[in-house]
Structure 1
Amino acid sequence: MTTIVIIGAGRGLGAAVARQFGHGGFDVALISRSQDRLDALAAGLTAEGVTAEGVTARGFTADVRDPSALEAALDAATATLGPIEVLQYSPVPQKEFMRPVLDTAPADLAGPIEFSLYGPVTAVRQVLPGMRVLGRGTLLFVNGGSAVRPHPERAGTSIAFAAESAYARMLHETLAPDNVHVGQLIIPGAIVPGDPNTDPAVLARRLWDMHGERKGFRHYAHDLDS
């Protein structure tokens, strides 16, 4: 059995993806900054029966802006649960990253770039050797609409998401010969429970299909103008 690691796991999309992949036969590694929240999430998944029949969910603490902590969490997930076949990078950006463009100084970009570029680069470099040993892997990047349509009121995130998108697309092209699929899911606007396009369970199925079908790079939860 192999593992999906969800970086930025929470009670919404992260939990839905954990359910989807857990029921699909994966062990689930959850990474975020709060061990208490991770433990509660893992316990909730167990209570729902997601962890039945040998499927397990465990939480590992790391701040994506701390490369050493993120590397250690990924190593611990591998040692505890087994080889990582799927990595999802989907932490929610912090509010201070979303300053208007004319109010954004160079120093204001350090946090967003650490969060949305250095974090995924660290994570990919840590899990890629194991995927190559497995002979397969999937890297899933989840971003908001500003990744493809910059928003002047959210300058830091727009700039950092664009950098993350460029990095992910280069990986998509470079890693295909290694049987490592790289895909990006763009979610314009908010994740809304009950919405036919952005309900967490709907998005989780989209990510499951992206992993299984391995077609194309960029996918949209819905049209940017809808």
Structure 2
Amino acid sequence: MVGVSVVAIVGAGPGLGAAVARRFGREGYDIALVARDRDRLDGLVRELSEGGVRARAFPADVREPERLTRALADAARELGTVEVLQYSPVPPRDFMRPVLETGHRQLTGPVEFSVYGPVAAVRQVLPGMRRLGRGTILFVNGGTAVVPHVERAGTSVAFAAQSAYGHLLHERLAAEGIHVAQLVVPGAITPGHPRKDPAVLAETLWGMHRERHGFRHFADDLGSP
């Protein structure tokens, strides 16, 4: 579809995903919402549509790379080439085990979620971005991406790997007009918080997309709860 800008939000939900959809939607972007739960996605599509945002649902589990790549391929076919990819699913609580209770089997889920998933997503959308001659890839991570936590070994290990992957992409793709950046959100995304409210974070992500400066950005101080 010529002339249509598309953002794909992997891990879309009623908080940050919805806020980012609204922010990019105000700028005329069509929105591809990717998450596991079809019913929740359909509800979010209806809510966004009532606010004038054009959105479509593409159900997929990020731990199933083939389904994820299919969903993104469907999004590109139905909406147009994905110009912006945001990878921001929230890790399940059982990924956050103490380090001495974390064996190799307990790392499988976090690595599938935070490494295999983003790699599959990027490789699916990258050819389209290259054809456009532009693109943005945004990773959203918790504070353990930067400062590992002994009680959250799974996310500490997997987020660090995702960060390394993102940084490598940032260095490799900049010359092609494709900007790769990471937003680190210490603690929880919190409605009403001056820096971590979903709408505030959405504005930050929009700015990262538009300003295209640097790889790692922080939503708040690392010591913040």
Aligned to 2:43: 40
What residue ranges of structure 1 are gaps of 5+ in the alignment? none
Offset of residue 127 of structure 1: 0.2
Could you tell me which residue of structure 2 aligns to residue 196 of structure 1? Answer: 194
Letter in 1 for 2:142: G
- Pairing 1:120-159 to 2, within 5 Å after superposition: 120-159=118-157
Partner residue, 1:182: 180
1:25 to partner: Cα distance: 1.3
List per-residue Cα deviations over 1:60-101 (Å, max 9, x = no partner). 000001011001100110011101000000000011111000
> Match for residue 96 of structure 1?
94
Which residue is equivalent to 1:24?
Answer: 27
- Computed over aligned residues only, the root mean square deviation of the Cα atoms, in angstroms, reads 0.6
Once the two structures are TM-superposed, the CA of residue 2 in structure 1 deviates from its matched residue by: 1.5
Mind listing any 5+ residue stretches in structure 2 that lack a counterpart?
A: none
Give percent identity, aligned residues only.
63
AA matched with 2:109: G
Partners of 1:47 and 1:36 in 2: CA distance: 17
Say which of 9, 15, 23 aligns to 1:12. 15
Q: Distance in 2 between matches of 1:153 and 1:28?
A: 36
How far off its partner does 1:106 sit? 0.8
Q: Secondary structure at the match of 1:125?
A: helix
Match of 2:205 in 1: 207
Query: How many residues align structurally?
Result: 221
For 2:215, the aligned partner's letter is F
Matched residue of 1:61: which SS?
coil
Aligned to 2:163: 165
Find runs of 4+ consecutive structure 1 residues off by over 2 angstroms. Answer: none
Partner letter of residue 8 of structure 2?
A: V
2:20 maps to amino acid: V
Distance 2:65 2:188 in 1: 28
Letter in 2 for 1:8: G
